[in-house]
Amino acid sequence: MKQYLLALALSLSVLGPAIAADATPGEGVDVKKSRLLLLPKSTVENSSAQQYAQMMRAAAQKNALNADAAQLERLRRIARTLIPPAARFNEDSKRWRWEVNLISSRSINAFCMPGGKIAFFSGIISALQLTDDEVAVIMGHEVAHALLEHGRARMSEQVLKSVGVSVAAAVLNLGHASASVLSQAADLAVTLPFSRQHETDADLVGMELAARAGFDPRAAAEVWRKMSKLGGSGKSQPPQFLSTHPAHASRIRDIELNLPRVMPLYEAALRSKGAAPR
Ligand SMILES: [Zn+2]
């Protein structure tokens, strides 16, 4: 147990910076996976899938699930192109049972739960008037959180907080796993803010996924400009997206600093499709 706690403590001292300004153009971003991974993958994916199914059922009961067929098809088409390059960041994603659903709601939000369970709220599409490139970088950002196992890290943290380290080991023994603790953790994992490091990493990986799929990664900066305008307008509630994805002042700068790493990937993707860069 002592050794285990030591390992856990070490794993909490996380990760160097993802940004390297002197990087070689076109080699892609440099981001490491999350390391506070107390809960087994299967546990995290199963409880996330359950939580996701429950959310989709609740939306369906309100006739708010996939009501706009054209928008849904657009989201799924974009997801289909982002998923193949995702395996570069997490091999397991090849066996994930990906889902993409659209919830009718004014909420300005989107997420991807562990195991590839994606949801967009119609509010984020309409309020930000998202182009395909912008949908792709947002979806890429959300998918990146799942690929880098940020949700798994947060669920692990939540389980630790709620049950304490002494019984966390028992939770790992699935025979003793408390379903309510896990589903609560899965729930919190989509409502709690991501850390700044997780946000930066998700931005960069999201840009690379978009670029490799043939979407303009420069849209990432534009999305955050739009988001912050909306957040600062004072006319309405700040976007829920900002409460789970806290914006930091240097975000757009970090995105722009990393563009040279991914622009050549975007251009290559366009060339292979026989298109010219826009
Ligand atoms: Zn995020």
**168-200 burial: b if 16+ Cβ within 10 Å, else e:** beebeeeeebeeebbebbbbbbbeeebbebbbb
pLDDT tier at 171, thresholds 50, 70, 90: low
Q: Confirm if 266 and 217 have CB atoms less than 8 A apart.
A: yes
34 Cα to the center of ligand 1, angstroms? 13
Output the CA 178–ligand 1 centroid distance in Å.
28
Distance CA 26, CA 33 (A): 21
Mean per-residue pLDDT, 16-39? 61
> Does 16 have pLDDT greater than 80?
no
By mean pLDDT, which of 45-54, 186-195, 214-223, 245-254 is the weakest? 186-195
Q: Comparing 15-29, 119-133, 160-174, 198-212, which segment has the lowest mean pLDDT?
A: 15-29
Out of 135-139, 183-187, 249-253, least confident range: 183-187
> How far apart are the CA of 208 and the centre of ligand 1, in A?
15
73 part of the active site: no
240 Cα: distance to centroid of ligand 1 (angstroms): 12
- List the shell of residues around ion ligand 1, using CB closer than 5 Å: 194, 199, 202, 245
Binned at pLDDT 50, 70 and 90, residue 244 comes out as: confident
For residue range 130-169, list pLDDT tens digits in order.
999 999 999 999 999 999 999 888 888 877 777 665 555 5
Query: Which residue type, as a one-letter code, is found at position 217?
Result: P
- Answer yes or no: pTM beyond 0.85: no
Q: How many other CB atoms are there within 10 angstroms of residue 25's CB atom?
A: 11
Contact 159, 180 (CB under 8 A): no
Q: Is 113 helix (H, G, I), strand (E, B) or coil?
A: strand
Report CA(190)–ligand 1 centroid distance (Å).
Answer: 10
Kindly give the pairing relationship between strand 110-113 and strand 99-103: unpaired
Give me the catalytic one of 142, 157, 199, 208: 142
User: Does the pLDDT value for residue 27 go beyond 90?
Assistant: no
Q: Among positive and negative, which fits the CA dihedral 250, 226, 189, 110?
A: negative
**Least confident stretch, 101-115, 131-145, 241-255:** 241-255
Distance 236 CA to ligand 1 centre (A): 22
Residue 185 in contact with residue 113, Cβ under 8 Å?
A: no
**The pLDDT value given to residue 129:** 97
Instruction: Report which of 85, 81, 116, 84 is spatially closest to residue 98, judged by C-alpha positions.
Output: 116
Ligand 1 centre from 115 Cα, in Å? 16
Question: Which residues, in sequence order, are CB contacts of 198 under 8 Å at separation 6+?
Answer: 34, 145, 148, 150, 153
> For the CA atoms of 150, 155, 160, 163, what is the dihedral angle to 10 degrees?
180
